[in-house]
Amino acid sequence: MSRFLLVLSVIPLLAISPLSAHAQSKPFEESEKRHSWLSFSRPTMKTSAEQLAYARELHKQGRLRKATRAYRALVTTWPGSAEAALGQLGVALTLDERGKREDAFEAYHQLATRFTGGYAYDDVIKRQFEIAREEMERRRGGFGIFGGFRAPERAVPMFEKVLQNAPRAPFAAEAQYLIGYAYEESEQLELAVVAYMTAQHRYPNSPWAQKAAFGRARALYRLSEEAPNDEEALDQAWAAVVVFINTFPQSEDIELARAYRDTLLRRRARAAYDKAVFYDRIARRPAAALQAYENFVRQFPNSEWTSVARARMESLSPLVENRNENN
**What gap in Å lies between CA 69 and CA 54, rounded to an integer?**
11
pLDDT digits (tens, 9 = 90+) for 266-290: 999 999 999 999 999 999 999 999 9
pLDDT digits (tens, 9 = 90+) for 227-274: 999 999 999 999 999 999 999 999 999 999 999 999 999 999 999 999
Mean pLDDT along residues 67-82: 96
pLDDT digits (tens, 9 = 90+) for 105-123: 999 999 999 998 899 999 9
Contacts of 247 (CB under 8 A, 6+ apart): 213
Helices and strands in the chain, H and E counts = 15, 2
**What gap in Å lies between CA 179 and CA 88, rounded to an integer?**
27
Residue 303 and residue 293 in contact, taking contact as beta carbons nearer than 8 Å: no
pTM of the full structure? 0.81
3-state helix, strand, coil in the chain (%, to 5): 70, 0, 25
Q: How confident is the model at residue 27 (pLDDT cuts 50, 70, 90)?
A: very low
Domains and CATH numbers, the chain: 1-119 (no CATH), 122-138+153-252 (1.25.40.10), 270-327 (no CATH)
Q: How confident is the model at residue 19 (pLDDT cuts 50, 70, 90)?
A: very low
Amino acid (one-letter) located at 258: R
**What gap in Å lies between CA 238 and CA 265, rounded to an integer?**
8
**What gap in Å lies between CA 235 and CA 280, rounded to an integer?**
24
